């Protein structure tokens, strides 16, 4: 069997975080009642006209600048015509001929080092509504709340060759766009949607193979699996002497396989033409400069600042800035007076560990800086010991509890009253004559068991150093 390499390009749709829709004043808020956020314009009523939301253009330019794109000084909207009920006008206002941004790139770190992924273009367009099929009533219902929500589509060049690079690229987009505040980029909620264009070719061959486009990828894991699956499917076809057909495929994550939605032969003719209801967009240098000037602090800048200002290791700074949410928790907690390195430790240690364990996304984090600062404070002043601190943190992570209240209500405060501890230890010693005997006989290791018993008896709240000290003292005096 020949060696194959995979060639992947991505089309990423990102829902912009504007307050209102792209062509009307309706709210973009998620979770409203069906068709609550609609008006004659986004319902496609006869006689209505689109009016472009300036913020959409600003976000698109900001993302373009952050992704090293050329910003078109003259840009236009086009109509993409196709009949489907989720699309109230039966055409989508998009950009085909003169997109707002072209010719960019990002560097991503995947595997052994850095790779440059080129960006072909970024264009602006409107989202469609949602169809809900009611099998019981045998009807389809339409919710136009999402119709007209602004999107940008970021089209990469086919510069990726495996799932790892694809995910690194998507994470990079997510970070950059998140920092800009242009979108929250949630794959699960659909505010970021990635379509994977994939082809394979024998290693060494220059021309590209026939590609397929994979849709419905709603997690990094699904993307990974779909890429693996599609790569194998295409190689198998070629090995069997069959042809890869250019088609759009739908990924079924439950079954772990994809099926064809439509092939090129019955591909739609979208009859694109310039949108006559909107004027061409002429973008001034001044406007671009303003957007540049308003660009928020990005990851690279934060890393340098954290090292300088908070004196934390570069590694820590890099880890924290990998997600905007981490930086928010970090900065706000430090602002409350917590020690930066200790905050960093909580983020890099427990936070990332639990996130991984729970397969959760950082943007869902619900840890309030106030509570994290408090946790650090009560560890510092020995109210709780470090192992109890981890249990308390889990509660802060899960329910954002107030650590002080939680510790009090669950009697988790460290027992560091020597008299009280001595009483407990004496009881333990009398209950464990064998261990005491072993210790006296010279097996010093036996003290470990006795420490454990003491911690158990205090439900872990004892100060371990003090327990050790007291035990040694008492044992040494025991025989006397």
Partner 1 sequence: MKNLTALELSRKIKEKEISIKEVLDYTFKSMEDNKDLNSFVLEMRDEAYRQAEDVQKKIDANEELSSLAGVPIAIKDNICIEGMRTTCCSKMLENFIPTYSATVIERLRAAGLIIVGKTNMDEFAMGSTGETGYFGPCVNPINKGYVTGGSSGGSAAAIASGQVKLALGSDTGGSIRLPGAYCNVVGIKPTYGTVSRNGLIAYASSFDQIGPMAENVADAAALLEIISGHDAFDSTSLNKESYDFSGFLNDFAGENTINGNALNINALNENALNENALNENALNGNALNINISNKIATNEIKVDNISNINNLKGLKIGIPVDYLGDGLDDEIRESIYKTKEILEKAGAIVSEFEMGMFKYSVPAYYIIACAEASSNLERYDGVKYGLRAKDYSELHSMYKKSRSQGFGAEVKKRIMLGSFLLSSGYYDAYYIKALKTRELIKQCFENALNTYDCILLPVSPSTAPRLGESLKNPLKMYLSDVYNVSANLCGLPAIVFPAGESREGLPIGLQFIGRRFGEQEILYAAATCEAAGRGPESKAACEAHERGVV
136: exposed, middle or buried (Cβ count in 10 Å: 0-12, 13-18, 19+): exposed
Comparison of 57 and 462: residue with beta carbon closer to partner 1: 57
Instruction: Return d(Cα 414, Cα 424) in angstroms, integer.
Output: 14
Query: Measured from the CB of residue 287, what is the shortest distance to partner 1 in angstroms?
Result: 10
Query: Measured from the CB of residue 299, what is the shortest distance to partner 1 in angstroms?
Result: 30
Query: Measured from the CB of residue 31, what is the shortest distance to partner 1 in angstroms?
Result: 23
Query: Measured from the CB of residue 143, what is the shortest distance to partner 1 in angstroms?
Result: 13
Q: Which residues bind partner 1 (CB under 8 A)?
A: 40, 43-54, 57, 79, 81, 83, 85, 88-91, 142, 269, 271-273, 276-282
Instruction: Return d(Cα 327, Cα 321) in angstroms, integer.
Output: 6
Query: Measured from the CB of residue 133, what is the shortest distance to partner 1 in angstroms?
Result: 11
Query: Measured from the CB of residue 27, what is the shortest distance to partner 1 in angstroms?
Result: 17
242: exposed, middle or buried (Cβ count in 10 Å: 0-12, 13-18, 19+): exposed
Comparison of 53 and 319: residue with beta carbon closer to partner 1: 53
Instruction: Return d(Cα 256, Cα 156) in angstroms, integer.
Output: 25
Query: Measured from the CB of residue 243, what is the shortest distance to partner 1 in angstroms?
Result: 23
Number of Cβ atoms within 10 Å of the Cβ of 111: 10
Instruction: Return d(Cα 459, Cα 414) in angstroms, integer.
Output: 10
Comparison of 20 and 351: residue with beta carbon closer to partner 1: 20
Query: Which tokens hold the place of 479?
Result: 């025989």
Instruction: Return d(Cα 123, Cα 95) in angstroms, integer.
Output: 6
Number of Cβ atoms within 10 Å of the Cβ of 333: 27
Comparison of 268 and 426: residue with beta carbon closer to partner 1: 268
Comparison of 96 and 237: residue with beta carbon closer to partner 1: 96
Query: Measured from the CB of residue 152, what is the shortest distance to partner 1 in angstroms?
Result: 16
Query: Measured from the CB of residue 56, what is the shortest distance to partner 1 in angstroms?
Result: 10
User: Is 375 within 8 Å of 367 (Cβ atoms)?
Assistant: no
């Amino acid at each position: 069997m020949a060696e194959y390499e995979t060639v992947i390009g991505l089309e990423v749709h990102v829902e912009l975080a504007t307050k209102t829709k792209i062509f009307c004043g309706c709210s973009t808020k998620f979770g409203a009642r069906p068709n609550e956020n609609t008006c004659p314009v986004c319902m496609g009523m006869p006689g209505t006209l689109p009016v472009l939301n300036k913020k959409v253009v600003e976000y698109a330019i900001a993302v373009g600048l952050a992704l090293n794109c050329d910003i078109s000084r003259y840009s236009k909207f086009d109509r993409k015509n196709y009949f489907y009920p989720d699309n109230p006008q039966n055409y989508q206002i998009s950009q085909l001929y003169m997109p707002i941004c072209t010719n960019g790139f990002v560097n991503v770190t995947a595997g052994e080092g850095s790779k440059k992924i080129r960006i072909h273009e970024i264009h602006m367009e409107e989202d469609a509504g949602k169809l809900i099929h009611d099998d019981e009533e045998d009807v389809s219902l339409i919710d136009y709340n999402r119709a007209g929500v602004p999107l940008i589509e970021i089209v990469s060049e086919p510069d990726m060759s495996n799932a790892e690079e694809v995910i690194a690229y998507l994470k990079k987009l997510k970070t950059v766009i998140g920092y800009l505040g242009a979108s929250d980029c949630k794959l699960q909620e659909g505010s970021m949607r990635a379509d994977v264009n994939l082809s394979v070719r024998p290693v060494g061959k220059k021309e590209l193979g026939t590609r397929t486009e994979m849709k419905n990828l709603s997690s990094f894991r699904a993307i990974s699996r779909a890429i693996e699956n599609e790569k194998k499917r295409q190689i198998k076809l070629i090995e069997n002497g069959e042809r890869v057909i250019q088609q759009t495929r739908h990924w079924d994550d439950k079954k772990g396989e994809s099926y064809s939605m439509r092939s090129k032969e019955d591909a739609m003719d979208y009859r694109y033409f310039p949108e006559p209801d909107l004027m061409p967009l002429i973008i001034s240098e001044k406007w671009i400069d303003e957007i540049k000037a308003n660009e928020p602090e990005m990851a690279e800048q934060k890393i340098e600042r954290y090292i300088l200002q908070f004196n934390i290791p570069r590694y820590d700074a890099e880890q924290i800035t990998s997600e905007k949410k981490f930086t928010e928790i970090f900065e706000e907690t430090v602002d409350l007076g917590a020690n930066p390195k200790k905050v960093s430790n909580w983020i890099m240690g427990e936070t990332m560990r639990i996130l991984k364990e729970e397969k959760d996304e950082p943007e869902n984090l619900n840890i309030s800086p106030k509570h994290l600062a408090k946790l650090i404070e009560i560890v510092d002043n020995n109210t709780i010991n470090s192992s109890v601190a981890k249990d308390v943190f889990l509660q802060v992570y899960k329910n954002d509890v107030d650590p002080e209240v939680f510790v009090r209500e669950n009697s988790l405060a460290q027992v560091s009253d020597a008299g009280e501890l001595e009483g407990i230890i004496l009881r333990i010693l009398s209950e464990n004559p064998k261990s005491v005997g072993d210790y006296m006989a010279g097996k010093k290791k036996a003290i470990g068991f006795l420490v454990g018993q003491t911690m158990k008896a205090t439900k872990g709240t004892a100060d371990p150093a003090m327990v050790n000290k007291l035990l040694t003292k008492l044992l040494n005096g025991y025989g006397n």
